[in-house]
Amino acid sequence: MSSKPAVPPNQSNTSASADSLVGTVVQYDDDGQVLLGVITGSKKDKLTILNVRGRELDLIRSRLALLPGKLKDAAPSTAARVAKLQELATQIEAKATTLSIVELWSFIHEESRPFSVSELSTMYLGVDDVENHAALRLALVRERIHFKRDRDAFEPRPEHIVEDLRRSEEAKSQKKAARERCVQCLEARLRDPSIEIPHDLRDSFKLIEEVAAAIVHTDPSRQKEAREFVHLCGERLGLPESMPIERRAFEVLLKAGIFHEHTNLALLRHDVPVKHSPEVESEAREVKAAVSIEDVLDEERVFRRDLTASEAFTIDDIATQDMDDALSLERTRDGYLLGIHITDVTLAVVPGSRLDRAAKRRATSLYCADQTINMLPERLSEDVCSLRVGEVRPCLSVLVTLSQSLEIVSTEVCGSFVRVSQRYSYDHVNDLLESGDTTLLLLHNIAAACEEQRIRSGAVRVHKREVVPIFESGKVRLQEIDEDSPARLLVSEMMVLANTVMADFAARHKIPVLFRGQERPDDVRAVVGERDQTPEGPAKDFSARVKLKKSSVSFEPLHHAGLGVNAYIQATSPIRRYMDLCHQRQLLSFLKTDRPWAMPDEFEHIANEVEVPLQEAGLASRETKRYWLLRYLEQRERNAPIEGTVVRVDLKTPLVELDEVYITILVRFQQRVSLGQRVTLRITAVDAHADHVRLSE
């Protein structure tokens, strides 16, 4: 075979006069298609062609591939020429479908040089006429794997590149087919929502979910693929093109019955697992609840104190099912014995088990308006580990000996058995305190004394108005939380006391735990309001909150300025927080064996593993709560008035804390407003999914 370099026919004819080219058949690329035409004349440096669609246009010569021959038997009329072109185009198309570019490549791929189409047509087809030349060129342009195109020359690619391109094309073809199946599945679910999504299509639907949740990928190609897929689905489902891409994705999944109106995008955005796997649920079902002390292994009974005779009780919200703390108070000869009992979750969740790994992955329970996402399966969180009335539970207890004057004499941390005899709600406790219940009044006085002591040690109390959104019967209602109510003050102070005692115990015995601390504010007097001229109310509370320093963690005891204590850990919610469970393991192991469960390096590794899911869960929780509060605002009548307080004026746009929902919104005012000013606004637009609120005066 000759190895002389090929010369494309275009180049060989560049010197030909325009007049001599009239009637020559050409091919040219137009928006991804190869069109046929015939030269009819010239204008300056361009050639005039009539194309197969009947259009006449002027093109530069380099854009045209001149075919070896002229249009035969064509009458001078435009219609006749177009008809002849269309007839020739049909013949070329039919011929092109019979050609094997793979076969051609197999003959010449060892020659690493460009070939003209004329050369290839002569070698492969034996003749280089208009029909054969055009058909081969059309087939070469369409088949992009075996030949590399350089203008109108084609060079066979090496075998390894052909193989790579073939695999890539196969993957694209499979992805295209999967997309089409996804769209068909979506359309089928519009007719019948019970149709299951095939397992192999779930990743494609995951792409749509990611767009709906506005997840930004580090892989731009996946981001691009996801957005293209959403546009395709939206187009097939008839969604407006003007719709924002995130809303478009949401509507696609909503129409297909994959999402519902209140699907929590924050959980998707922050990759929060909602359901436990069947394997984890199965492992939870195998955990047996202790009915009596005798049900616990001997090695556990040995070091635990039997406190089942104490009148222990829980105080929680009325809807709470995962009760992890209880209180007791007994009169002694010299004063009182206060018991703060934390359910022992360590016996139910074995380190390294599926349950343990699932809890670590979640890091914490989330309480949303429409659902509770438990860190542990319900079998444990609401049954086996929950301090239910009348049932014996192993606990980690903090025992505080008090004098007659309610001063703390001594503290003790111990393993125990507890039986709760009474369950109270916060409202019930408030009513009992008003009616003069002796035990609860004593506990409240102890809590007040503890708080007073902490304030003398520098603790700072900052008021915050708060509501909890609850979704019931298709409506959002708000439950106001009064942190200053006697019942909530009592419980929060008991938990601070228990966590402080356990932190002191861990520090004294060198037990690795995660201590929490907080630096003193730069201006404490301003925080407590002594030097702050802000008007009393929400603006002053907001000003105090922003002056507080962020909390920090360390494996060494830290002073916690906000609480006024020198060592503090979180260990009172092992059902709800994974690090609380780990702290419980550390303390109970030390009580049993004089050794912690994990050494410092091991415990630090665990804390680092939990850090990211804990942060993500925190973000998801805040975003979810704000979403439901905005849904509440959506329920209100359009332009309905709402009161608020200006809490910041040092920004370009004033910040207002709204009554009822207690969230902050930037509001543009026509006139200057002052800090602490009460304002009446109207809600002109709310979109909870887009986190958008527009208010006007």
Domains of the chain: 9-157 (no CATH), 162-260 (no CATH), 278-625 (no CATH), 636-696 (2.40.50.140)
Per-residue pLDDT, 524: 56
Place of tokens 């002569």: 122
Q: Give Cα separations from 601 to 382, 513, 598, 607 (angstroms).
A: 33, 11, 8, 10
Per-residue pLDDT, 531: 53
Q: Is the pLDDT of residue 62 over 70?
A: yes
User: b/e per residue, 548-587, with b = 16+ CB within 10 A?
Assistant: beeeeeeeebbbbbbbbbbbbbbbbbbbbbbbbbbbbbbb
Angle among Cα 85, 91, 97 to the nearest 5 degrees reads 130
pLDDT per residue over 319-378, tens digit each?
889 999 999 999 999 999 999 999 999 999 999 999 999 999 999 999 999 999 999 999
Across the range 414-427, mean pLDDT stands at 95
Closest CA to 203 of 167, 174, 166: 174
pLDDT per residue over 258-283, tens digit each?
888 888 899 999 999 999 999 999 99
Per-residue pLDDT, 15: 44
Least confident of 12-16, 453-457, 657-661: 12-16
Place of tokens 């090695």: 299
Q: Is the pLDDT of residue 696 over 50?
A: yes
Across the range 666-681, mean pLDDT stands at 92
pLDDT per residue over 511-547, tens digit each?
999 999 998 876 655 554 555 677 888 888 888 888 8
pLDDT per residue over 556-612, tens digit each?
999 998 899 999 999 999 999 999 999 999 999 999 999 999 999 999 999 999 999
What would the 3-class secondary structure string for 365-384 be?
CEECCCCEECCCCHHHHHHH
Closest CA to 289 of 396, 373, 423, 387: 387
DSSP 577: B
Tokens of 170: 């196969």
Cα separation, 65 vs 87, whole angstroms: 19
Least confident of 415-419, 525-529, 655-659: 525-529
Confidence tier at 97 by pLDDT (50, 70, 90): very high
